[in-house]
Copies of this chain bind each other. A is one copy, B any other.
Amino acid sequence: MADWQVVAGGITAPRGYQAAGIAAGLKPSGSKDLALIVSDVEAIAAGVFTISQVRAACVDYCRQRLQAKNSARAILCNAGQANAATGEQGMRDALKSAELLAKELNIPAESILLASTGVIGQRIKMDAMSNGIPKLVAALSQNGSDEAAGAIITTDLVKKSIALETTFGDRPVRIGGIGKGSGMIHPNMATMLAFVTCDAAVSPSLWQQMLSRAGDRSFNSITVDGDTSTNDSLIALANGQSRTPAITESGYEADKLEAMLTEVCQHLAKAIARDGEGATCLIEVQVTGAANEQGARQIAKTIAGSSLVKSAIFGRDPNWGRIAAAAGRAGVHFEQENLRIQLGDFLLMENGQPQVFDRAAASTYLKNIAQGSSLPTNAVATNMSNDLSIDRNTTMTQRVDNPLIIAVNIGNGHASGKAWGCDLSYDYVKINAEYTT
């Protein structure tokens, strides 16, 4: 299935897309803060949004738009103000932003989707938005992915971007994506955003189903600190510009497209988890032997989200007891007599009982993983501003490609699931406690 390759170009790698990112004066720091993705033609649009009861105006706006019409031409994203907990005025600001962009692009406002990230309770600076939109449209480019990726981030240490290419028949089909999110260095700036572009032709309902599943297997399977944002949004466009036959039902092509979409989402999700505040390594939890995929994922996510497991990993401690305890409380039935736990190549527990293993070697494995995926951690503490224009895409890929593996089998079936997280370091607390509003 995985007969694709990584290509350059991010969200502008697929045919028929342009993107831009500019500094419009929304962030106090003056760095890039307004991003735009435009499809040459009306594209099939699907979305997955936060299920929080406390939501940003843009989330309600997108839900309404997509309910009325499952296609779009453009995605506008501002960073700096979350436009959440801003009441009716927040919705008016969202509608106004869409109208301003529609006029500039000369398309209907109904074809525009919106996303915001920044401080909860702050309205979008509409003057800056109004002045920025013409410049943003003027900056649109077929090579604009990197600028857009840089304009949606807030406290992220690195930009997050990927593009994959496969062939349908003999024609190339591409999916690109950009994302943002890194836990919450700044108070109330929790947002996880991802925008995916695709040039395949696919039916709206199929595209939405694919995205919902891919979202479950990626963004809904990562955990930095268990907190969910008011603004979380995943939006995917498919514009058919690859000129490949339309995919309208399940089958080989649909499976292949969904697998590639899932891979794009997983890459971005892992990059977000790895970029968790103060994190020193990416943790991948693989659960097998479950009765169903959802249960497997539930256990994986509980382990990846356990403060005790995360602290142990930071301390390079092969602590099977904490992994077993987290698995046991995930709310999924299994017999403890069947529990099997592996850390990398080390078998820590089998048939529910601890195994003799080389503790020093296992600890060395943990240390090596962290070093192999090391990053300038000092940057975490010092980069407290919104101003991060550094591009470490290459480093990011290396870091994501070498996660620490926790493998758990619960001996209760044949389904499997994965989740990703990061370790819990002093810096997480430092970052979140010392920043006072």
- Which residues of A does B touch, CB under 8 Å? 50-55, 85-87, 119-121, 184, 187-188, 190, 225-230, 305-308, 311-312, 314-322, 324-330, 332-337, 339, 349, 351-354, 359, 363, 424-426, 428-430, 432-437
Contact = CB atoms under 8 A, between A and B. Distances in A.
A315 B428 CA distance: 12
A268 B436 CA distance: 32
Contact of A187 (B226, B322, B437): B322
Given A53-B336, A119-B321, 9 more contacts: A53-B327, A85-B354, A120-B325, A121-B354, A226-B305, A227-B326, A307-B432, A318-B437, A359-B437
Instruction: Tell me if A's interface is mostly helix, strand, loop or mixed.
Output: loop
A325 B121 contact: no
A328 to B, nearest CB: 3
Contacts of A327: 53-54
B121 A311 contact: no
Contacts of A430: 426
A228 B329 CA distance: 6
A429 B121 contact: no
26 contacts: A50-B329, A53-B330, A53-B332, A53-B336, A54-B324, A85-B352, A87-B337, A120-B321, A120-B324, A188-B321, A226-B306, A227-B307, A227-B308, A227-B326, A227-B329, A228-B328, A229-B325, A230-B325, A315-B433, A315-B435, A317-B436, A319-B437, A359-B437, A363-B436, A426-B426, A428-B429
Contacts of A325: 52, 54, 120, 188, 190, 227-230
A328 B426 contact: no
Nearest to A52: B328
Contacts of A226: 226, 305-307
A308 B225 contact: yes
A134 B85 CA distance: 65
A425 B51 CA distance: 29
B121 A225 contact: no
